[in-house]
Structure 1
Amino acid sequence: MAHDNITLLTTAHDAIAAKKRAKHAQIKEIVFDDDARRTFLTGFHKRKTARREQAKKKAQLREKQERLETRREHRRALAERTARNAAEVERACGAFAEVDGDDWAGVSSEPEGMEAEYEGEEQLATVTVVQDFDLTTLLHGPPPTRGPVPAVDKGEGGKEEVKRTRRKKTTKVKYETKAARRAEQRRQRARRTEKAERAR
């Protein structure tokens, strides 16, 4: 019990010692800086606009990041779709090759198809078209025919007659001169005023 009594009696000493320490740490003189006070008091609007600008910049940066992310996702999806389409084309081409049953017998000595020669100043190129490649006919089959093709009339000597269609002449727009436009405006204005006077 004595211990409790001592602690009770010495708590006041601890409080007094704390007050003395606070007095020693206390600032003896307070000096107001009028410029700092003025900038603080007048800077509310400036700080508020700065916060708004900062928030706007953050929002723009966030939107830019989102746009970049959506572009990345779009590119990734496009690459996947391209890979799928390429695989489908390969499967389709492979299926047609299997159906044809053509075994490659090596390079033939005689060229097949149409040959064309292109000659430059120093070079001569011979192009042989072996097979026209049309992917849509491979994938979807030949296009549907539109019925019987009309026979071409042959004139004298077995030559085909080619009917030429005449192009319609474009009508030239004739623009009025400035003086003519003004005269027309005056005439129309005079007619309007005449009609207005008659209506009275």
Structure 2
Amino acid sequence: MSNSVWKDVVASSRSYYYAQLWISVMASSNLAILTKSHKIIAAKKRARREQIKEIVFDDGARREFLTGFHKRKLQKKEVAKKKAQDREKQERLEARREKRQLLAERAAQNVAEVEKAYGGHVEDGDGSDTEWSGLEGTLASPDKGKGKAQEEEYEYEEEVATVTVVEDFDPDALIHGQDDRRPIAGAERDGAAATSEPPDVANRARHKPKPATADVRHDRKRSAPKPKDIKYQTSAARKVDRLKQRRRKSEKAERAGGKASRKGTSGRKKR
């Protein structure tokens, strides 16, 4: 096919397209074309009706926002400081809790080691069926077997330890201190050989005079001067006192000036 034929075909197709478009436009009703503007006007009226008429600002909130930057900054600092304090408190409590737990574990471990040591000694003994009842058994009868020393050997894998156990042990002496009125076991044994003191010396020893330090302290407390009660006044009360003092000074000055003037006039009259 030649170029002229192609041109004729293209021209005919274009004319056909435009013809179809014109037919479709003419097929639409004239009523829809005429009412299209009314739809646009109605849409504009609807938008105008839904439009906000006036924007009203809250002057107080606006002033607070514009002038409260420093206040908000301080509030943020306070909140951050409080959070840091709470965090430090939690960390401190956690550290204390861990420390108590470690101490409890260490105490339990020490108790287990002590019980193991005493239990191993009882099991490896001379075949006696008695079991060690802990420190309560030794503290229950402190008066039995006083003054007796018993040496015991503990053999371990690496070394041998020799322990001397003295049964002359009084738990009340640890709690309440050693009582001077209670006789010592050695003194009881040597009491027959020692010479008895006369009753007067014994009574003097028992009834010793109390030291005078307590009386001196009591006298010092009595003779010590009591601190003065300082009454603090408010600013208004101090202001009133200052005004009164100024008024008194001014009155004194006026009186002094009046006396001086009187003296001057009396001297002039005498002359």
TM-score (norm 1): 0.45
- More relative contact order in 1 or in 2 (CA 8 Å, sep 6+)? 1
**Larger helix proportion, structure 1 or 2?**
2
TM-score (norm 2): 0.34
Indicate the structure (1 or 2) with the bigger Cα radius of gyration.
Answer: 2
